[in-house]
Amino acid sequence: MLVIVPVALLAIAALISLMVALVGDVMMARSRAASVYELQETLDRIEQDSRISSAFLPTYSQLTSPQGRDGGTASFSASGPNYDLILNMPATTANPYSGSRDLVYYADQPNPCSGTYQGNRPLTVRVVYFTTDNGDGTKTLWRRTIVPTWTTTGGSASSVCAAPWQRDSCPLGSAISATCQTFDEKLLTSVTAFTPTYYDANGASTTDVRNAVSMSLLLSQNQQVAGESISSSSTARISHVNGTTEQVPSTAPTVTIDNPDINTMNNPVLTSLTWNSVPNAAYYSLRYRIDGGAWVYPADQTNTTFQITTARPLDIINFEVTPKNDMGAGSIGTLTYTKPLWTVANLINGWACYSPSGWPCPSYTLSSAGVVLLQGMAKDGATNTSMFTLPSSLAPNKQIIFAGLAHGASSRLDVRTSGDVAWQSSGSSSAWVSLDSVRFLAQGAASPSWQTTTVVPAWTSYGGLWGNPQHVKDSIGRTHVYGLISGGNPATINAMLTLPTGYQPSTSGIWPNVTNPNAGANYQIDNTGNIISRNQGSSGWMSIASMFYPASTSVTFTAMPLANGWVNYGDKYTTAGYTKAADGIVMLRGLIRAGSTTNSVPIATLPAGYCPGWRNLTITQGAGAAGTNASQTAGRVDVVWNGSNGCNLEYVNTSPTASNLWFSLDGISYMQER
C-alpha cells in the first residue's frame, strides 16, 4: 500500500495536468477562432460602409459636443496617431442596404421637391471608425454616425425633401437629445492596430485621402486567455464604388458690410459682415484683426454672416473668410474696412434730418475713452417723443437731462437707460433741434465705477429714473458729473452739490442746464468743488450734466486767440482756451466779455487739428442785460470750418441772444475731424 498510494497520486496529478492543458488549449483555440471571426466581421462591416461611401475624408471638424473625438468638439483626422477612418456617405430614406431606400436630396438646390429633385445636391452623412484607449496598451474600435442639420420645412438652406434614416450617435452614457439620438456602436475590443493605407486610381499609395479610391486596412487584436497572449491580425483591400458629389469650393466669397439697418447692424460697437453662399461650401473658416493686431480665429460656421463687437470708430478691420468642405478649401474672400466715425441714427416719430446739405443728420459716435457724442440737426418730430435709440451698451446707467437749443430757444434732451434720445419741448418749436451739446460716459462701453456726489442740505436727490447725483473720472482723466436734484432755493446762490478733492476744476466756470418746467437755467462749478445755483431755476428740479478737466489731471489748455474785442472776464473764472485729448475730443472753456455781438463775427479762430467735421451748434450761457444774476440767458456758439486753415468760433445773435457783459464757453466740446 505504501508503494501503490504514492504511485496513484502521481498518476492522478499527471492526469489533472493533462486535462488542464487540454482545457486551456481548447479555450485558446476557441478564443483564436472568435477573434478571427470578430476581426472578419468588423472588416466586413467597414467594407460594406466603404463600398457605398462617396469619398474617404482627411478630417472632419464640424462637430457639436459630445460628438467630437474627445466627447466634446475635437476633430477626427485620417492622419496619425489615431488614423480615424472618415467616410462620406449619402443619406438615405431607409436602411441603405434595403431595396426600398432612396437618396435624400436638399430642397431647391436647384429644383423644388415637387419637381425633378433627383438632380439636386444630395445630403451626406459622416460615418467615422475610431479607437479609444483602454489604458492597457490596447484600444476599442467604435462606429459613429454624424448627420448634418436638416429640416423638412422649406425655406432654409438645410431643407431636405425627405427625412434621412440615419441618426446621430454619441458616446455611451450620453444624454439622448436631438444631437445624440443613439449610442456609438462598439465593434472590437483589445485592438492593437487599426491602420488604413490609401491608394489612388492608379494603385499607388497616397497621403491625400480625398484622391483615394481604395484602401488597405490592417486590423489587429491581442487578448489574454488562460494566461496566454492570443494575437490575431487581418488585412482587407476595400474600395468605394460611388463617385464623390463634393467638390472643392471653386470661387472666393465676396464680403460686404451687412447694412440693412445701420443703427442695429452697424454702429460704434458693432460691425456686421456678410458674404455670398459659395457653391460646394459646407462651412466657412474666418479670421479678422483690428488695426494690424493679432489675428482672431472664430469657430468655423455654416451661415454667411458674422458680427465683430470689438472694433470701434475709425478702427481698420481686416476680415477673411475661406469656404471649405471635407474635400478641401476654396479661395479666400477678403475685406478691409475702416469703421466710420459717426453712425447715422434711425429717426422715428416723424423726426427727419434738418438740412443734409448744410448740417449733419443726427448721428452718434464713441470715443476710445467711452464717451458718447451726439451731433446733428433734426426737425419736425412729434412733441415730447424719442428721436432714435442708441445701442444698449452706449446708454448711461441713469437717465440724464441735457440742455440744448431748438429753433432759437433753450430746450431739453433726455438720454435714457434704454438708449432712447428724447426731445422735451416747453413751448419751443421742433423746426430745428441741435444735438451738439450731448456728451456722456457710456456705462456698457466704459464700465465706470460711479461715486455718489454729496447733495448739500436743503437740496435732495430727485430719485426715480435719475437716481442719485454721481461723478467719476474717465480714462483720459476728465470728470463727469450727472444728476437731478430738487427742493432747494436757487435764489440763495449757494452750493447744491459738492465734488470731492481730485474731481474739482482748477478755476470756476458757468454751465447751461435745464430746470422745471423744461426751462433754461445755469449753474457754476467752483474750484472748491461746489456746484452753485445762480439765482436761476426752480426748486421743482434742477439738472446737472457736465464733463470737464479737474485740477488733478495734467492737461494743457492753449490760450484762445480772442478777436473782435473779446477779452477774458478775469476774476476767479477760467481764461478762454482749448485742448484736445487722446480720444480726439476737443474741449473749450473760459468766461469772456466785451466783444462784438454782430451775428457770426468770430470770437476766435482755432487752428486745423482742433476743428469739427461739420458745423457745430452748441448752447452756452451769457448775460441777458446789465444788472443782477437773474438777468441771464441761453446763448449760441457755432464752430465752423473757415475753408482754409482752421475753424471760427462764432457768436450768433439770433434768438436766444446773450449780451457781451459775460459769455461762457464752458461745455462746448466736439470730435476733431479737420
Summarize pLDDT for 224-237 with one digit per residue, the tens.
765 677 888 999 99
Mean pLDDT (whole number) for 273-281:
91
- The three cell numbers of residue 621 are 450761457
**pLDDT tier for residue 38 given thresholds of 50, 70 and 90:** confident
CB atoms within 10 A of CB 423: 24
Same domain, 31 and 128: yes
The alpha carbon of 90 is separated from its chain's Cα centroid by a whole number of angstroms, namely 37
Same domain, 259 and 232: no
The alpha carbon of 629 is separated from its chain's Cα centroid by a whole number of angstroms, namely 51
CA atoms within 13 A on the CB side of 664: 26
Mean pLDDT (whole number) for 377-403:
94
Domain range for 403 is 341-448
Same domain, 168 and 314: no
- The three cell numbers of residue 382 are 412729434
Helix (H) or strand (E) holding 38: helix 4-52
Using DSSP's 3-state secondary structure scheme, residue 379 falls into strand
Q: Which is more confidently placed, 445 or 29?
A: 445
Same domain, 309 and 348: no
**pLDDT tier for residue 264 given thresholds of 50, 70 and 90:** confident
Return the exposure string of 445-482: e unless at least 16 CB atoms fall within 10 Å of the residue's CB, then b: bbebebbebbbbeebebbeeebbbbbbbbbbbebbbbb
**Contact (CB, 8 A) for 71 and 171:** yes
Reported pTM: 0.76
Domain end among 421, 448, 475: 448
Residues contacting residue 234 through CB under 8 Å, at least 6 positions apart:
36, 39, 40, 43, 218, 219, 220
Residue linked to cell 462764432: 650
Same domain, 153 and 200: yes
Q: Is the pLDDT of residue 7 over 70?
A: no
Q: Which is more confidently placed, 272 or 655?
A: 272
Over 499-539, what HEC string results? CCCCCCCCCEEEEEEEECCCEEEEEEECCCCEEEECCCCCC
Same domain, 147 and 74: yes
Summarize pLDDT for 160-180 with one digit per residue, the tens.
999 999 999 999 999 999 889
CA distances from 632 to 535, 602, 654, 664 (A): 9, 22, 16, 11
Please state whether beta strands 451-452 and 439-441 pair in parallel, antiparallel, or not at all (unpaired): unpaired
- The three cell numbers of residue 144 are 459613429
Mean pLDDT (whole number) for 362-375:
98
Residue % of the chain over a pLDDT of 70: 93
Summarize pLDDT for 417-453 with one digit per residue, the tens.
999 999 987 667 889 999 999 999 999 888 899 999 9
Same domain, 315 and 355: no
Same domain, 231 and 314: no
Summarize pLDDT for 182-231 with one digit per residue, the tens.
999 999 999 999 999 999 999 999 998 988 999 999 999 988 765 677 88
CA distance 656 to 410: 8
Same domain, 353 and 426: yes
> How many independent structural domains does the chain possess?
3
Mean pLDDT (whole number) for 305-312:
96
Same domain, 333 and 402: no
Q: Is the pLDDT of residue 470 over 80?
A: yes
Same domain, 48 and 156: yes
CA distance 512 to 286: 50
CA torsion, ordered 504, 510, 511, 516, to nearest 10 deg: 110
CA distance 660 to 593: 5
The pLDDT, as a whole number, for residue 13 is: 63
Least Cα distance to 274 among 261, 259, 296 occurs for 259
Same domain, 356 and 380: yes
Assigned domain for 430 exists: yes
CA distance 665 to 622: 9
How high is the mean pLDDT of the chain? 90
- The three cell numbers of residue 106 are 436638399
The pLDDT, as a whole number, for residue 110 is: 85
- The three cell numbers of residue 143 are 462606429
Q: Is the pLDDT of residue 530 over 90?
A: yes
